[in-house]
Amino acid sequence: MRHLVASLLLLAACASSGTHPGEDTRAVSILTVRNQRTEDLTIYVMHDGYKGRRLGQVTGLASATFVLNEMDAPVATDLQFLAMSFVSGGSELSDPVLAEHGASYEWRLTPGKQNFAFRRLTKT
């Protein structure tokens, strides 16, 4: 019985992970979001002007780090990040950055409409 429950839990975890068999899910880049606003934000990755995968949430006055995979950040494409607040209904779009393997991106969201996005390269 324990094995059946463990198997079902594993199956549910895999099904809810958002990945599908055959997808390349290797980590290629990292995004750190520093939310200096008081509202919680949901972060999405965008490329070629289309909203991609939901990366997760960053709470108000906190930071969160997200892993970007091959599907999120195809090499040599322009990436943008989208922050959405479901409380205020507002959204914020980062400046575009060029996707590179091994890159570490940082996005700082300050109060108001001013935000900063920049790229730092890391050794791989």
Of 117, 114, 116, 110, nearest to 39 by C-alpha is 110
SS3 assignment, position 99: coil
Predicted pLDDT at 64: 98
6 pLDDT more than 60: no
Question: What's the pTM value of the predicted model, to 2 decimals?
Answer: 0.74
% of residues, the chain, pLDDT over 70: 70
Residue pLDDT, tens place only, 84-121: 998 888 999 999 998 988 999 999 999 877 666 666 66
- Two structure tokens written together for 90: 């507002």
Element (H or E) spanning 120, and its range? strand 115-121
All domains of the chain in start order, with CATH: 22-121 (2.60.40)
Predicted pLDDT at 124: 54
Of 92, 89, 99, nearest to 28 by C-alpha is 99
Residue pLDDT, tens place only, 24-47: 567 789 999 999 999 999 999 998
